[in-house]
Structure 1
Amino acid sequence: MSGREHAGPVDERWRRWRLVLGGGEADGIGMALDASDARMDGALGAVYEDAAGLGASAPKVARWLGDIRAYFPSTVVQVMQKDAIERLDLTRLLLEPELLEAVEPDVHLVGTLLALNKVMPDAARESARRVVRHVVDDLERRLAQKARAAVAGALDRSARTHRPRTAADIDFARTIRANLKNYLPERNTVVPSRLVGYARRQRALQREVVLCVDQSGSMADSVVYAGVLAAVLASTGSLRTSLVAFDTSVVDLTDLLHDPVEVLFGTQLGGGTDINRALAYAHGLVTRPTETILVLVSDLFEGGLREQMLRRVAAMTEQGIQVIVLLALSDEGAPAYDHDNAAALAALGVPVFACTPDAFPDLMAAALERRNLTHWPETHTS
């Protein structure tokens, strides 16, 4: 047993304060650290004290990545990696395969790698794809089952009919509940004056979903989540799902939805924003306006023609397209966004809010059932 396991609560408190305060004369308490704590202190100090602590040495950074994974839980490791990349400008070093093998995969890191995609050397590309694949697989395990269940349930409910064509289409449980007032006690039976059934036995596509995703640099996490969720929706046989990514240009990623890793590497994070052009393209994908949900994921900082963008959204809603604007699709909440554009879209009757990935399946279910989404964020948090 180490001495720490015998230490009392007071000693443990001093130890924690010592790690918080840092090394040298900064600690102010004169408490010595054992070898393990000294290495932990060094790992923290490399990012939060000494700006040159990691320098530009790939081996030194690789050792640091190994140290923080040994001393801290993965959630803390992810924060430290993100801080190191931002504070010490380590993006260039992430192009080296040995560093990519040492990092803790997470959504923030995937966003950084996607931004570096076009300048990534071949030697690092395969390592980067393994990192992205690891995160994508984790996200699919977290989100896919809930999303498919929510969509299937919503389509079943929205496809309810009071004119089932065959006995096999009758939902007997709901039919009985709907006709309880017609119960005849002398015959111990219910006389159904109204049948309830489903049209879902028809195998045709029931609804269209178009995700239009802003790939400017501030939307990196949203791009990752949107790519994975679009692939999940595309695997649902009753939805025709399209995915469009945009900055000042537009790229249609629909043909890649069979593999979300390919989708993500098909994006190009950074650049400006032309929402109007993206919506024009997305509008052209719609074949059945009254059966279409168009989800725009953007912080709404329009670099294109603002008035034309607003007129286009108004025209789409008049056609019966259900337009939803998500200021972010991430766990981080809403980023900075254009409040004037958000208010203008809301005035057109378009719901505008941020959404977490875990809440997105419930949002899609509500949209598929054509529920009023005006107050949806107030009752759905994740």
Structure 2
Amino acid sequence: MTTDTATDPADERLRRWRLVLGPDTAAGATGGIAALGSADGAMDRALDALYGGDDTLGSGPRAAGLGASAPCVARWLGDIRTYFPASVVQVMQRDAVDRLGLASLLLEPEMLEAAEPDVHLAGTLLSLHQAMPETTRTTARAVVRRVVADLEKRLAARTRATLTGALDRSARTGRPRHRDIDWDRTIRANLKNYLPEYRTVVPERLIGYGRASQAVKKEVILCIDQSGSMAASVVYASVFGAVLASLRALETRLVVFDTSVADLTGQLSDPVDVLFGTRLGGGTDINRALAYCQSRITRPAETVVVLISDLYEGGIRDGMLERVAAMKAAGVQFVVLLALSDEGAPAYDREHAAALAALGAPAFACTPDLFPEVMAAALEKRPLPVPDGAARPPGAPAP
């Protein structure tokens, strides 16, 4: 953050209070010290454009001053990127969209070029992309691609490593053919059977893998609610879907839904194509989406279904629960993520979450950093790392 130099601690405290309170109230609260230097003045104007004034958000002089034209907003975005760190810029951008009705201005290329790319901006662009003119779509796609590239850089390597290990462990067999014995793991597992007089280990338990030609691939179905409240989850899930699809030991399917269902599996090689194939907003029919997923399951015992939804069902509630129960009874590992994001505790239908937990499908919010561990546990058919406060199956132990 760029600031003017304050030589006295008391003056520094007054300066900070002046920036917090704004020009209209600061003079009295700070004992009349309201003058700011050039850099602080620019910061103050940027803050006041978003948070100042007495009018209702989204209307009146304040909205007109900031929202009259895209070039004005682009200049404002340039100012806040100059005077505030990226984490603060992202918060201010989200506040600008929410408080001042700037969604329509995201349709202008110059505004997008000035924006600080993050998951929330990507979600907003995806919700508006069908209304964008062609010139803006190119810019919007470039912004989303920058967000996706950053997420892949942060998440892909760890996800591949975690899931590859889980797949190796799940494929391990205790009765391998001689040529399929994993001697390194076998020796380490039988060190207690070392015979000093013979200087050898008796392999009481063999560990190995089945022949590649006989290996059964695991199937993963990501079923993603694309209602407007799930925007950040859709972005993260699309990136993870592409990472899962890159693992040869997995067959990955990606399904998105609102009141209709779309199978985007064919686009998994490029998460950006997946994202621009979604339609954020609209209603929700979880039962219909699960019916489609259920129809695509060929090996239930080797399948993991991940439903990412806030569970506000607009379809047939009993049908949704019956489908989950049927998949669980057939051997499917069923996971319910109320959100896949870093946004904190999500809003969700608690009654439906409890009903799913009663069926043995815990429902919980999951951060992107936790997702690889959740998938690894599901693939290995071991208890999920469910956070505190989540809806748990009856009798499930606390983490």
- TM-score using structure 1 length: 0.95
- In structure 2, the partner of 1:15 is 15
- In structure 1, the partner of 2:59 is none
In structure 2, the CA distance between the partners of 1:279 and 1:38, relative to structure 1 (3 Å rule), is: same
In structure 2, the CA distance between the partners of 1:379 and 1:200, relative to structure 1 (3 Å rule), is: farther
- In structure 1, the partner of 2:374 is 363
Secondary structure, counterpart of 2:221 in structure 1: strand
In structure 2, the CA distance between the partners of 1:203 and 1:96, relative to structure 1 (3 Å rule), is: farther
Aligned length: 377
Which amino acid in structure 1 is aligned with residue 152 of structure 2? E
- Whether 1:277 aligns to 2:288 is yes
Secondary structure, counterpart of 1:54 in structure 2: helix
Which amino acid in structure 2 is aligned with residue 16 of structure 1? R
Secondary structure, counterpart of 1:376 in structure 2: coil
Any conservation in 2 of the 1:205–1:239 contact (CA below 8 Å)? Answer: no
Q: CA deviation at 1:170?
A: 2.4
Deviations 1:258-282 (A, max 9, x none): 1000000000000000000000001
In structure 2, the CA distance between the partners of 1:193 and 1:142, relative to structure 1 (3 Å rule), is: same
Which amino acid in structure 1 is aligned with residue 9 of structure 2? P
- TM-score using structure 2 length: 0.91
Deviations 1:229-278 (A, max 9, x none): 00110011110000000000001110000100000000000000000000
- Whether 1:307 aligns to 2:318 is yes
For residues 310-349 of structure 1, what are the structure 2 equivalents within 5 Å? 310-349=321-360
**Alpha-carbon distance in 2 for matches of 1:342, 1:151:** 26
Q: CA deviation at 1:201?
A: 4.5
Q: CA deviation at 1:379?
A: 12
Structure number with greater CO (CA < 8 Å, separation at least 6) is 1
- In structure 1, the partner of 2:47 is 44
Structure 1 residue runs of 5 or longer lacking an equivalent are none
RMSD of equivalent CA atoms: 1.9
Q: CA deviation at 1:17?
A: 1.1
- In structure 2, the partner of 1:61 is 73
Any conservation in 2 of the 1:274–1:304 contact (CA below 8 Å)? Answer: yes
Match of 1:86 among 98, 108, 114: 98
Any conservation in 1 of the 2:3–2:40 contact (CA below 8 Å)? Answer: no
Secondary structure, counterpart of 2:135 in structure 1: helix
- In structure 2, the partner of 1:377 is 387
**Alpha-carbon distance in 1 for matches of 2:215, 2:129:** 38
**Alpha-carbon distance in 2 for matches of 1:171, 1:27:** 76
Of 204-213 and 120-129, the range deviating more from structure 2: 204-213
Q: CA deviation at 1:118?
A: 1.0
- In structure 1, the partner of 2:163 is 151
Secondary structure, counterpart of 2:123 in structure 1: helix
- In structure 2, the partner of 1:117 is 129
Percent identity between the two aligned chains: 66
**Alpha-carbon distance in 1 for matches of 2:233, 2:358:** 25
